[in-house]
Chains A and B, each alone.
Chain A
Amino acid sequence: EIVMTQSPATLSVSPGERTTLSCRASQSVNSNLAWYQQKPGQPPRLLIYGASTRATAISARFSGSGSGTEFTLTISSLQSEDFAVYYCHQYNDWPRTFGQGTKLEIK
């Protein structure tokens, strides 16, 4: 099974700042990597797929990059609604797996 490791576990950032979240795969997942945002009491929402393609209606503040085993999600100019938990997910191999999440909190 491919293990997805996200870092850091918690990130404290001020509104308006730019921040980068990391996700590492234990073996190559090519570009078959997605990012999700989850707020309390809600299901996850797809942000990025194919490592760098924004999903429908997702703000251009969100961008993804990477391939193989190293991936990043960058959020430029953080807004109040961006503070949430973010998960990466590989869909290259069976079983599909998720990272443990990064909690983005207000500094």
Chain B
Amino acid sequence: QMQLVQSGPEVKKPGTSVKVSCKASGFTFRSSAVQWVRQARGQRLEWIGWIAVGSGNTNYAQEFQERVTISRDISTSTAYMEVSSLRSDDTAMYYCAAGHYCDSWGQGTLVTVSS
């Protein structure tokens, strides 16, 4: 059974960075893709980017291109998403999801940006 477990909630100050982890189990991590999606409270889902785990190739939504880095560690079956230069409007629930059409989702990591 595919399972993704994300790291815990974060509170950050504006201008700093946050790194969220997503540990996978129950499927062949190396053969998969991991996507990151965020959702502000009461708002729509917003696609951030993805990584093809085997090759390490990444693709980002343009608005996140400069501030987001998605990476992975195959040895620990873990994907990461780092957001730099945090702003208050980055406050949201961040989800990782596995597969080309987001078959399975992590539980979400709440990132709060506040001075």
Of B44, B103, B104, B105, which is within 8 A of A100 by CB? B44
Contact with A along B14-47 (1 / 0, CB 8 A): 0000000000000000000001010000001111
Tell me if A71 is interfacial: C-beta within 8 Å of chain B.
no
Q: Which of A11-19, A20-28, A72-80, A86-94 contacts B (4 or more CB under 8 A)?
A: A86-94
How would residues 35 to 73 of chain A score, 1 for a CB under 8 Å from any chain B CB and 0 otherwise?
A: 010100001111001100001000000000000000000
Q: How far is the CA of A44 from the CA of B105 in the complex (A)?
A: 7
* Cβ-Cβ contact count across A and B, 8 Å cutoff: 57
* Contact partner, B101, options A34, A43, A97, Cβ 8 Å: A34
Distance between Cα atoms of A55 and B104 in the complex (Å): 10
- Report chain A residues within 8 Å CB of B62: 1, 95
Q: Chain A residues in contact with chain B, CB under 8 A?
A: 1, 32, 34, 36, 38, 43-46, 49-50, 55, 87, 89, 91, 94-101
List residues of B whose CB falls within 8 A of some A CB.
35, 37, 44-47, 49-50, 59-62, 95, 97, 100-108
